A and B are shown apart, each in its own frame.
Chain A
Amino acid sequence: MSAPAAHHYTATGLDSRKIAIWAFIGSECMLFASLISTYLIYKGRSRVGPFPHETWVDPTSGHHFHAILNIPVTSASTFTLLMSSLFMVLALSAVQNKNVPKRTTSDRILGSSKLWLWATALAGSTFLGFQAFEFTSFVHEGLTIRTNLFGSSFFTLTGFHGAHVTAGVIWLLTLLSIDYRRGLGPNDALNVDIAALYWHFVDVVWIAIFTLVYLIK
């Protein structure tokens, strides 16, 4: 996260890294669009269960499978991830206003970049914990990535998203370590801003996934 030389002239006045991250996000949109479309195309085409929203009885073994998606639990994890976006906004604001004098306790709380970066990273990790729980319970209930089309497309889609969240958490922890080493200040705001853009993007993708995969039957 080396800061570029501030003297560089740019045609738009924007820092180049800001433009690059938008180009990257555009590319990521197509990545997730391909994954989500595949999931939707394959919805209802699986020959064997378990299924996401319907119960299924295995005709050979007579085993009874529940509808596998656990919407209450995933709603909780979705809420956690959405809250992390709020924490991220507060973290960025704290970094931008590092040099503004803090008078009250609430000023100091709102102005603590470490607190909000930790909160974001922890919320992200909690989401990942929920996902690990979800994945293991699905495997115990008999759905793996090899079971049927639903299993393949579901685990790949949500797994790709989980990998993106993981990368984001590592990114946040890196920013935190810099914050502990030398303190993040207004000069680093752009670095935090870029991490925030990525983080919000990953959240927005989850809103699409939660709606299309979990909520719509």
Chain B
Amino acid sequence: MTSTAVPTTAPSHAEPAYVGQKGVWSWLTTVDHKRIGTLYLYTALTFFLIGGLEAEMLRIQLQGPNRHFVSAELYNQLFTMHGTTMIFLAIMPLSAAFFNFLIPLQIGARDVAFPRLNAFSYWVYLFGGIFITLPILFQVAPNGGWFGYVPLTTRQFSAGINIDFWVIGLQILGISSLAAAFNFITTIINLRAPGMTLMRMPMFTWMAFVVQFLLVLAFPVITIALVFLLFDRFFGTNFYEINAGADPLLWQHLFWIFGHPEVYILILPAFGLVSEVLPTYSGKPLFGYPVMVYSGILIGVLGFGVWAHHMFAVGMGPIADSVFALSTMLIGIPTGVKIFNWMATMAQGSIRYTTSMKFGIALVALFTIGGISGVMHSSPPADLQQTDTYFIVAHFHYVLFGGSIMGIFAGIYHYFPKITGRLLNEKLGSWHFWINFVGMNLTFFPMHFSGMLGMPRRIYTYDAGQGWDTFNLMSSIGAYMLAVATLIFIYNFFTSRKRGEIAGPNPWHAGTLEWSIPSPPPEYNFAVLPTVTSRYPLWEGNETDMESARLNSQEGKSAEEMGIILPYNTIKPLIVALGLIIMFCGLITTRVLIFVGAATLVVSLYTWLLSPLEPEHH
């Protein structure tokens, strides 16, 4: 693979004027997908730290038998919020940060299809995240687990305000995810540059595309499950009222019909990122591109047919158990295909072991471990031994930490230069990676054993002498290593942001469109809309590809100078989101707020819809 014709010489300064306006107001009113992506990135990393802090407190508590670092009640809040935060406030929005930043750049578009709706999604996410996170400071945080099983979470057994925060908070976050999903589906279908056929789309955009469909189809189901719970708690309906004849499994079915696709919502974006990272640092195109696409789609489709494997222990009967066991084993096939294709991508490549590459390889290895333990408990008899033990905790941390988080870090090291114009420090990155890698395995591998020895999940402490002590101590030491690794990352992030090496348009000699433009990209992305003739325009493109890449790599001019029309900045999406959150706050405080919120929402929504997106084109 020859390197690109795009000049890689660095400009003298990292953030030139063409990038856009400055100041707090410009961030509050921005509709630029890159800036919204940056907002998502910073916010989600903050929530990642909060979720991590919660995890550290859990590990301090469980470090040895009979410890009392936190109370049982606080422990319940901490594990509930750790799960909820990591899933809804960290990993999903970190993926959303990449969706925002990368999708338009990878398909050769100026922005997403609905820039203002995009801003709305972010503000709803931010406000919803604050809404669901603040209660932990007052020790009234949700305490029913991230899965919120009824009847535990009904008013009868959870009388306090804790679960109300959870029910309402997840509704708010669902609105954000759905609005974003409609936006990205439309963007990917409709705003691809000429020649960017579906089968030429970069793999990250493909996986993002699949994820949007999962969001659109899975989120309404939990919306309804939560509406039922909300009505039961606030208006005395009977959806989960066993005495009225309600089915105790209704919640579990609805929750997992959402919850299992959610697992793929969490992992597929990381798969997409790694499918960009591995080819770049192997200097080879992705092996078996069409099969990677099809297996991604297949994972998405099958992901809707495996939900009840979370429920083997409730006694659904042999037929349901068998069907869901088989469908679960089946989904291992397309996932395995991906693993083998990544390995084939690296095989015989001229591999550069950058930090990003290390994280990428770590995903392939660690996700495989998590995948294999997943296949183990796809068998109901095995699952009956393992369910609700630390074995399950080990399993899903190998797929979510070993998979999603490793993939996201691979993406951050890979795309940080595109986002900021500067490279992350590789030496610190290497320390971050190795401490993270060792810490991750030290934390979660022993959990396989403590689980097999019968240690249940969600207990706040345990007696000595059950064979769990050493494994728990190991897990806690591992968790402290993860904290150290994260501190190194934060230091690296902020120092490199200021003083990192200037990146230039394509520091990694990657092949896809986003690397043909300056770093950071100008506010209009592409000076000329590119015409695409291949999957890796910068590696194997013809003269048209090269010419548009050459034009786009030049920088310096602002949108005005170029005569490019961009959408107006507007505060309205923020106000609409604010109205929404005020309305929901009214449910748990005073009813007046419901009307205030609704009025704000309606008025600002109308002014938004009736004002033009961008200046008139002549």
Instruction: List the interface of chain A (C-beta within 8 A of B).
Output: 1-7, 9-12, 14, 16, 19-20, 23-24, 26-28, 30-31, 34-35, 38, 41-42, 45-47, 145-146, 148-149, 151-153, 156, 174
When the two chains form their complex, are residues A42 and B246 in contact, meaning their CB atoms are under 8 A apart? Answer: yes
| Nearest A-chain residue to B257, judged by Cβ | A34
With contacts A27-B220, A34-B220 known, is A47 near B114, CB below 8 A? no
CB neighbors of A among B316-360 (8 A)? none
What residues on B are CB-neighbors of A16 within 8 Å? Answer: 113-114, 186-187, 190-191
CB neighbors of A among B218-266 (8 A)? 218-221, 223-225, 227-228, 231, 235-239, 243-247, 250, 254
A58 to chain B, nearest CB (A): 15
What residues on A are CB-neighbors of B114 within 8 Å? Answer: 16, 20
Residue among B182, B191, B196, B244 making CB contact with A149, cutoff 8 Å? B244
CA distance A153 to B231 in the complex (A): 11
When the two chains form their complex, are residues B224 and A11 in contact, meaning their CB atoms are under 8 A apart? Answer: no
When the two chains form their complex, are residues B245 and A19 in contact, meaning their CB atoms are under 8 A apart? Answer: no
What residues on B are CB-neighbors of A45 within 8 Å? Answer: 245-247
Residue among B192, B220, B247, B616 making CB contact with A31, cutoff 8 Å? B220
A193 to chain B, nearest CB (A): 16
| B565: Cβ under 8 A from any A Cβ | yes
The interface bits of chain B over 203-224 (1 if a CB of A lies within 8 angstroms of the residue's CB, else 0) are 0000000000000111111011
Beyond the given pairs A20-B183, A34-B225, A42-B245, 8 more chain A to chain B contacts, judged by CB atoms under 8 angstroms and listed by A's residue number, are A3-B612, A11-B190, A27-B178, A27-B181, A27-B182, A34-B221, A152-B238, A152-B239
Main secondary structure of the interface of B (DSSP, over half): helix
| B477: Cβ under 8 A from any A Cβ | no
When the two chains form their complex, are residues B216 and A26 in contact, meaning their CB atoms are under 8 A apart? Answer: yes
What residues on B are CB-neighbors of A26 within 8 Å? Answer: 216-217
CB neighbors of A among B181-200 (8 A)? 181-183, 185-187, 189-194, 196
When the two chains form their complex, are residues B217 and A27 in contact, meaning their CB atoms are under 8 A apart? Answer: yes
What residues on B are CB-neighbors of A12 within 8 Å? Answer: 189-190
What residues on B are CB-neighbors of A148 within 8 Å? Answer: 238, 244-245
What residues on B are CB-neighbors of A7 within 8 Å? Answer: 617
Instruction: List the interface of chain B (C-beta within 8 A of A).
Output: 113-114, 178, 181-183, 185-187, 189-194, 196, 216-221, 223-225, 227-228, 231, 235-239, 243-247, 250, 254, 529, 565, 606, 609-614, 616-617
A138 to chain B, nearest CB (A): 15
| Nearest A-chain residue to B247, judged by Cβ | A41
| Nearest A-chain residue to B192, judged by Cβ | A11
What residues on B are CB-neighbors of A23 within 8 Å? Answer: 181-182, 185-186, 216
CA distance A151 to B487 in the complex (A): 54
A172 to chain B, nearest CB (A): 15
What residues on A are CB-neighbors of B617 within 8 Å? Answer: 5-7
When the two chains form their complex, are residues B245 and A149 in contact, meaning their CB atoms are under 8 A apart? Answer: yes
Residue among B183, B191, B218, B254 making CB contact with A10, cutoff 8 Å? B191
When the two chains form their complex, are residues B191 and A156 in contact, meaning their CB atoms are under 8 A apart? Answer: no
When the two chains form their complex, are residues A31 and B186 in contact, meaning their CB atoms are under 8 A apart? Answer: no
CA distance A151 to B232 in the complex (A): 12
